[in-house]
Amino acid sequence: MNTIEVNNLTKKFGKFTAVDKVSFTVKQGEIFGFLGANGAGKSTTIRMLIGILEPTFGDALVGGFSIKNEPDLVKKNIGYMSQKFSLYNDLTVAENIRFFAGVYGLDGKKYEERKKWVLKVANLEHMENVITGSLPGGIKQRLALGTAVIHEPKIVFLDEPTSGVDPISRRNFWDLINELSEGGTTILVTTHYLDEAEFCNDIILINAGKLIAQGNAKALKSNYIKNPILEIESERVVDSLEILEKEKWVGETSIFGNYIHVILNDNKINEGNIIHLLTEENGIKVQRVEKIIPTLEDVFIHLIEKDSKKNVQ
């Protein structure tokens, strides 16, 4: 069953098109990753899907309600955590929870129960009276997620919930997302950390407002890059890269720290050719060359470059 169905969703700000005919579906209970660089149009799409920004064209059904015609019903059925910190920094933890519970009409036993749950997931069980602004970033984000789902919505939108958070806290945060998902909640989450995309059941990638790839991580890796990829570890990384880029059989290249990834245009080329080129012709010592399965990063760099070239033409 599809919980979210997006159909040709488009948003224009004046002449500028921020979201361009985007369509996709999200199944119930899945973690749906929404990827794209800064300014790709992720937040704009989400703000339309939660009913606070009107689309220019197109529509979407969220939990069965049209975002265009029934935005108020959409709002009733979702939880949302915005990209900016969404709690009040000048209130205490308990006051923030109390406020959002009040807004969603929770009281009595239900309120006590949910409050307990939020404090537990945020790891703030004995810190109710701490001013929220003074908490560390990772804890703040967990508290924000907890309060965003205090009314137990079936669909949750998270806009870059882990940006600016340290890796361990990010890990904890994803544990929480998984927990929600196991409970049957559908989660749509934007991020630009590609390692996080690996945790998603399904992923879409948007670039300059357009959807350019879709599928789960495994499918993306095998469907979008057919040619072999080599990972090269050598001295003088930048020089090596320049030399490689001059060759006809080299497609796209990228640097990952000390490594170079090369997508080959020619199936006949192998590790030996690389060592020959770098070491024998140019005197650069090569520690290691091996064929690898592409990472999501390879896939996205490949797709975005392809898309940009298309746009130039």
Ligand X SMILES: Nc1ncnc2c1ncn2[C@@H]1O[C@H](COP(=O)(O)OP(=O)(O)OP(=O)(O)O)[C@@H](O)[C@H]1O
Which residues sit at the interface with another protein, rule CB under 8 A? 13, 47, 50-54, 72, 75-76, 78, 80, 82-91, 95, 98-105, 107, 148
**Which residue lies nearer to Mg ion by CB, 16 or 126?**
16
Residue 41 contacts which entry, ligand X, Mg ion, another protein, none (Cβ below 5-8 A, type-dependent): ligand X
| Type of residue numbered 28 | Q
State the Cα–Cα distance between residues 290 and 296, nearest whole angstrom. 18
Q: How many CB atoms lie within 10 A of CB 45?
A: 30
How far apart are CB 82 and another protein at their closest, in Å? 4
Nearest Cα residue to 229 out of 221, 218, 219:
221
Per CB under 5 A, which region of 10-18, 75-83, 207-215, 292-300 contacts Mg ion?
A: 75-83
How far apart are CB 8 and ligand X at their closest, in Å? 17
Which run of H or of E encompasses 54? none
Per CB under 6 A, which region of 39-47, 87-95, 134-142, 294-302 contacts ligand X?
A: 39-47
**Which residue lies nearer to Mg ion by CB, 144 or 289?**
144
Per CB under 6 A, which region of 37-45, 251-259, 266-274, 300-308 contacts ligand X?
A: 37-45
3-state secondary structure of 15: coil
Residue 199 contacts which entry, another protein, Mg ion, ligand X, none (Cβ below 5-8 A, type-dependent): none
**Which residue lies nearer to ligand X by CB, 23 or 28?**
23
Residue 82 contacts which entry, Mg ion, another protein, ligand X, none (Cβ below 5-8 A, type-dependent): another protein
Per CB under 6 A, which region of 41-49, 119-127, 219-227, 272-280 contacts ligand X?
A: 41-49
Sign of the C-alpha dihedral computed for residues 198, 199, 201 and 204 taken in this order = negative
State the Cα–Cα distance between residues 270 and 252, nearest whole angstrom. 16
When CB distances to Mg ion are compared, the closest residue is 43
**Sites for ligand X among residues 96-115 (CB under 6 A):** none
Residue with tokens 């690389």: 274
If binding means CB under 6 A, how many residues of this protein chain bind ligand X?
Answer: 11
Question: What is the full DSSP assignment across 180-204?
Answer: HHHTT-EEEEEES-HHHHTT-SEEE
How far apart are CB 283 and another protein at their closest, in Å? 55
- Among 6, 35, 42, 252, which residue interacts with ligand X (rule: CB under 6 A)? 42
Q: Strand 259-264 vs strand 250-256: parallel, antiparallel, or unpaired?
A: antiparallel
CB proximity list for 72: less than 8 A, separation 6 or greater: 51
**Which residue lies nearer to ligand X by CB, 40 or 119?**
40
Which run of H or of E encompasses 213? strand 210-215
State the Cα–Cα distance between residues 26 and 13, nearest whole angstrom. 26
